[in-house]
Amino acid sequence: MNSHSHSLSSSLAFVCAFALILVSSSSSIYVQGLDYDYYDNTCKDFEATVAGKVREWFKKDKTIAPSLIRLHFHDCSVRGCDASILLNQPGSERTANASKTLRGFEVIDDIKRTLEKKCPGIVSCADILTAVARDATVFLKGPFWANQYGRKDGRISLAREAQQVPMGHEDMTSLIEFYQSKGLNTIDLIVLSGAHTIGRSSCAAIQDRLYTYKGSGKPDPSIDPKYLNYLRRKCKNPANYVDLDATTPDKFDHQYYTNLEKNMGLLYTDQLLYNDHRTSQLVVTLATQSELFPYMFSTSMVKLGGILGDADDDGEVRLQCSRVNAY
């Protein structure tokens, strides 16, 4: 083994060991103000009701599951996990360009209506989003994790704030700083990006990579040539959609990271995880240690759901998720 290989091996061993420590500590993550048994006495069928409804929608349309995970991420990325993404009013986050391709609002509304019949005025829309993201992951054969509840729904939702959510074109420093501003770290950035092991992207989002990267009139040179040809065939019409994981698009697995090693990251920010020295080592570890990703994903999703904003102190439990309560 040469010195470079030995150095790389040592680095990977360190990253893997650190990741295992992170995973083992996930059960101790506790967010002040939230509780695992928050609804035990007030709406004991809450989680069973959510899971049942997600199952119903998943049976009708399996593509809804990754959309529900993404909806939760967009919510927590702006003002914390307060269901502000669900407010359907002029100038709200939901009307922003960054929110144009979001789906699953009707699923949340359906669950909310059902819960209002069982335990009116008790379960927040923010908690529904958090539970739905976990159950959607499970139905994709991903990991299960225990959620804490007690979030409140916010009354403020601004389109301009939604524009801060990463859209796939950012540089690594911007991505790291965005995650840090939410109380997350670079490991969370890499692991939560692994949600792209399932789901689709609009072809419009990658047109620049395929044809005129950074205004060059040429494709992004970091894309594998065969993958580039495949994408150009799939995306002749920018209105089409393409799988984020071209290899196992319907399976929640670590293949996303293996694809990055082969220069088959769909979005610019996907491939950047492998190409940037600040993130590449953990990408390689996750690509080679298949059992690691599900546990790390669980940990990072718990942290994501623990981002609380002003609504924790000055929020409400909405009776309809798409509008604030009338007082």
Find tokens 């939560």 and name the residue.
192
Residue 82 is labelled as binding a ligand: yes
DSSP state at residue 203: G
Give the residue carrying structure tokens 């959309």: 67
Calpha distance 37→119 (Å, rounded):
16
Please check if 78 is assigned to a binding site: yes
Residue 33 in marked binding region: no
Residue of 74, 169, 254, 277 with catalytic role? 74
User: Is 80 part of any known ligand binding site?
Assistant: yes
Q: Is 208 part of any known ligand binding site?
A: no
Q: Is 254 annotated as a binding residue?
A: no
Instruction: Report, in angstroms and rounded to the nearest whole number, the Rg of the chain calculated over CA atoms.
Output: 20
C-alpha–C-alpha distance, residues 91 and 44, integer Å: 36
The DSSP code for 242 is E
Q: Facing residues of 201 across strands?
A: 242
Neighbouring C-beta atoms of residue 247, cutoff 10 Å: 14
Q: Which two tokens stand for residue 74?
A: 């967009």
Annotation-wise, does 288 bind a ligand? no
Cα–Cα distance for residue pair 146/156, rounded to 1 Å = 28
Instruction: Give the span between the Cα atoms of 74 and 82, in whole angstroms.
Output: 11
Cα–Cα distance, 284 to 213 (Å, whole number): 26
Nearest Cα residue to 253 out of 130, 137, 103:
137
Q: Is 6 a catalytic residue?
A: no
Instruction: Tell whether residue 77 is among the known ligand binding residues.
Output: no
The answer to whether residues 301 and 108 touch, using CB atoms and an 8 Å cutoff, is no
Residues with Cβ within 8 Å of 279's Cβ and at least 6 positions away in sequence, in order, are: 172, 186, 189, 190, 272, 273
- Is 84 assigned to a binding site? yes
User: Is 245 within any annotated ligand binding site?
Assistant: yes
d(CA 296, CA 143): 10
Pairwise CA distance, residues 171 & 156, whole Å? 29
Which residues carry a binding-site annotation for substrate? 166
Residues annotated within a binding site: 75, 78, 80, 82, 84, 93, 166, 196-197, 245, 248, 253
Known catalytic residues?
74
Provide the annotated binding site for heme b.
196
